[in-house]
A and B are shown apart, each in its own frame.
Chain A
Amino acid sequence: MPRAATNDRTELKSITLDAGGVYYKDLNSQVRGLIDEGYEEIVLQGVNGQRYIGDGLTQKVKIIIEGVPGNDLGAFMDGPTVIVNDNAQDGVGNTMNSGKIVVKGHAGDVLGYGMRGGRVFVLGDVGYRIGIHMKSFKDQVPVIVAGGRAGDFFGEYMAGGVLVLLGLELGDSPLVGSYVGTGMHGGAIFLRGEVCDHQLGSEVRVYPLEEEDRCQLEGLLAEFAEDTGADLSGVSLDDFVKLQPFSHRPYGNMYCY
């Protein structure tokens, strides 16, 4: 059974759980129990692949994860802040509504699928199918920032929100794969570096940054650096391009009646 220890080091009502060897279902139910008891910060130590941490939680709590959490971290999440001091796996922030996830290593595929609000910051690389069908609504604008590179289908079907890819420490590898923004009909993608036409979906075009883009990006990068500890001293806003769809209705002419 996990060991629980109350932490005094923060002003938050905080507790540390040893997650080592605990089945995900038990772990998540303990986390929910602790939140019900009023804990505002929960540190999970020895996490090793447990799925669904933070899934469906609506309270504004902070969950700090030591170790590598399993798939669907923060799925359907609506409020909490989750800090991962290591890598994360697939499905981070799946259909997330609000809150924040910070991954201080790499993250896997299908990150932020259908995400509708909140932020996901990943210090390192991200996998395939990132930010698919992200959408924004009113003041809810989801943001994903990744410090490294990304695979294919980045921002596919994107309907709103902001995707940023920084390509830090890229070396010779490409910044992003193919099919970027395929089917995109809303939102914006910011890439630090060049993309070739053959990498782009046919619904997007490359645009230069406008003043308001620069403002937005500046704010996001500062927040990203603070949360992840990334060194952005060499990053200039002049190196970015913006990808946007040229229609909110890419398939409007596909039908006849």
Chain B
Amino acid sequence: MAGNMVTSEFLVQVDHERCRKCKRCTLNCGFGVFDFKDRVTADTSKCVACHRCVVFCPEEAITVARNPLAFREHSSWDVDRRKAIWKQAQDSGMLLTGMGNDLPWLNVFDHLLIDACQVTNPSIDPLREPMELRTYLGRRPDRVEVERSDGGFKLDTEVGNIIKLDIPIMFSGMSYGSVSINVHKSLALAAQRLGTVMNTGEGGLHEELYPYGDHIIVQCASGRFGVHSEYLNKGVAVEIKVGQGAKPGIGGHLPGEKIGREVSSTRMIPVGTDALSPAPHHDIYSIEDLRQLIYALKEATGYKPVSVKIATVHNVAAIASGIARAGADIIYLDGFRGGTGASPAVVRDHVGIPLEIALAVVDQQLRSEGIRNWVSIIAAGGIRSSADVAKAIALGADAVGVGTAALIALGCRLCQKCYTGNCSWGIATQRPELVGRLDPDWGAERLVNLINAWSLELKEILGALGVNAVESLRGNRERLRSLGLDEMTTEILDVKPAGR
């Protein structure tokens, strides 16, 4: 019978004229593409286009190209669909993938335009005038009472715990186990320097990162990995992970291969067993149950803010209202473009709704119920640039979460093979020789550079809008216009079409 019917996606070509046989490529490839016998040979079937060899070859002798093999065109049977069937007919099982939804669904952010001032209501130059990006997360009281006290004023209302961020951007939850310890270190260092927070994801917190607790949100997911009293008290807030944008409604299976000694001791499970996160939290089957867990966490942490992370699904507005009423301080919306270390492709690509729409309807719902002040909203799952940040904030987000963008800053090439544990860039792997490639100081610097650049851009946008604080953009949809969206979507977003 024929061998593997799934033809190589990429071709690796080595220019043997240029090659000086340093063998760096054989060491650098995490997927085992290269071999060396007299000269470099490449097994193209293993190539995932992660470019590690290309970047590290001193002679620029390697090129990776898309396999030009011709397939007879068929508009409903594109090549990827045919390949999926070949794979499943061969190995059975669900097709697994990594990173976010890669199907060409409409991207709403790319159909929204931001306003600017002209002539009247002049714009502000952020280089000359202070521009406030500071953001506070947590529950606001319905009203505040202020008392006059000898010459000054005194707040007479009890305000709960609030988190202060210097920028409206935080790092999204990515678990230690799915990503390497050096990713966690890079994120923690960067969060500290930027005055923001990272999120542990569901795999616990390595003890080495305990000193960064003031810049960490700790997660409590259905598997309860590494969740104990000390862990819960290390962070500035606790997040109950109900759902993830890349895999709404399903649990997680971190394969036993990724559970080495260090991951094992942080997750607190034996080496080599699969880390299975059940699909639901089995102590949450209702809004009342959610309230119970929220308050159990508050009791255990001296009333730190509790965030609830959900995937954006069809009924997201009603769900968000329930979450706010259950006592959450923060609602973390993870859109259907959100990343993952591993998810069945069918779920990643076809389940959930876009962040932009979810954000708009959640913000409206909470406003219409008069409870918008009860919670802060974090928008994540599809934030690619400072423009997306500004648009998300105008649609109602208090802050945004970035995950994929942060990994790209650390070298990720979006090859989508995170689930294999072979990431050549030392990101989505636990193989020590690969993990060591990511230097946390270098990583932190790249993250700080990126987010500082976005902050500058954000200030520029605010200045153009004629406002001097990100607060003035929050939920301010009057400063957005839609272009090329259908009437219904524009109406749901509650923005005007360009020209109106």
Contacts and interface: CB of A to CB of B under 8 A. Distances in A.
Interface string B250-273: 000101100000001100111011
Given A52-B296, A56-B299, A249 B273 contact: yes
Contacts of B255: 249, 252
Contacts of B272: 248
B393 interface: no
Contact of A159 (B96, B232, B276, B300): B276
A32 B350 CA distance: 48
Contact of B344 (A76, A91, A255): A255
A33 to B, nearest CB: 12
Interface string B228-248: 111011000000000000000
Contacts of A183: 276, 278
B300 A55 contact: yes
Given A116-B268, A248-B274, A76 B232 contact: yes
B282 A129 contact: yes
Contact of A249 (B87, B229, B256): B256
B212 to A, nearest CB: 21
Given A114-B224, A160-B270, A257-B96, A133 B300 contact: no
A255 B269 contact: no
Contacts of B220: 95
Contacts, number: 138
Nearest to A251: B253
Contact of A248 (B88, B224, B273, B293): B273
B92 interface: yes
B415 interface: no
Given A78-B229, A91-B283, A97-B228, A56 B274 contact: no
Contacts of A51: 292, 295-296
Contacts of A207: none
B92 to A, nearest CB: 6
A250 B299 CA distance: 36
Nearest to B282: A132
Nearest to A248: B273
Contact of B300 (A75, A157, A186): A75
Contacts of A186: 270, 273
B88 A256 contact: yes
Nearest to B275: A159
A179 B223 CA distance: 19
Interface string A106-150: 000010011010000000000001001101110010000000000
Contacts of B144: none
A72 B295 CA distance: 10
A77 interface: yes
Nearest to B223: A133
Interface residues of B, number: 45
Contact of B282 (A58, A78, A110, A257): A110
Nearest to A257: B96
A94 interface: yes
Interface in B277-306: 278, 282-283, 292-293, 295-297, 299-301
A55 B233 CA distance: 13
Contact of B95 (A71, A153, A185, A256): A256
B93 interface: yes
A199 interface: no
B91 interface: yes
A233 interface: no
A253 B96 CA distance: 12
B290 to A, nearest CB: 13
Most buried by A among B223, B228, B270, B301: B228
Interface string A5-33: 00000000000000000000100100000
Contacts of A57: 229
Interface string B404-418: 000000000000000
B282 A113 contact: yes
B178 to A, nearest CB: 15
Given A116-B228, A136-B270, A56 B301 contact: yes
Interface residues on A, range: 35 or more
A172 B265 CA distance: 45
A196 interface: no
A147 B300 CA distance: 29
Contact of B296 (A94, A116, A157): A94
A255 B96 contact: yes
B449 interface: no
Contact of A185 (B229, B274, B282, B344): B274
Interface string A203-239: 0000000000000000000000000000000000000
A255 B274 CA distance: 13
B368 to A, nearest CB: 30
Contacts of B489: none
Interface in B386-420: 419-420
A233 to B, nearest CB: 36
A95 B227 contact: yes
A132 B224 CA distance: 11
B269 A137 contact: yes
Contacts of B278: 132-133, 156-157, 183
Contacts of A71: 292
A251 B228 contact: no
Interface in A15-65: 25, 28, 51-52, 55-58
10 tightest Cβ-Cβ pairs between the two chains A and B: A56-B300, A114-B224, A256-B91, A256-B93, A137-B268, A55-B299, A52-B299, A97-B228, A255-B96, A248-B273
Interface of A: 25, 28, 51-52, 55-58, 71-72, 75-78, 91, 94-95, 97, 110, 113-114, 116, 129, 132-133, 135-137, 140, 153, 156-157, 159-160, 183, 185-186, 248-257
Given A56-B301, A133-B276, A249-B255, 9 more contacts: A58-B230, A78-B228, A91-B283, A91-B292, A97-B228, A110-B283, A135-B268, A159-B276, A249-B256
27 contacts: A55-B300, A56-B232, A56-B300, A56-B301, A72-B296, A75-B296, A76-B229, A76-B232, A77-B229, A91-B296, A113-B283, A116-B228, A136-B270, A137-B269, A156-B282, A157-B282, A159-B273, A185-B273, A248-B272, A248-B274, A249-B273, A250-B276, A252-B255, A254-B94, A255-B344, A256-B93, A256-B94
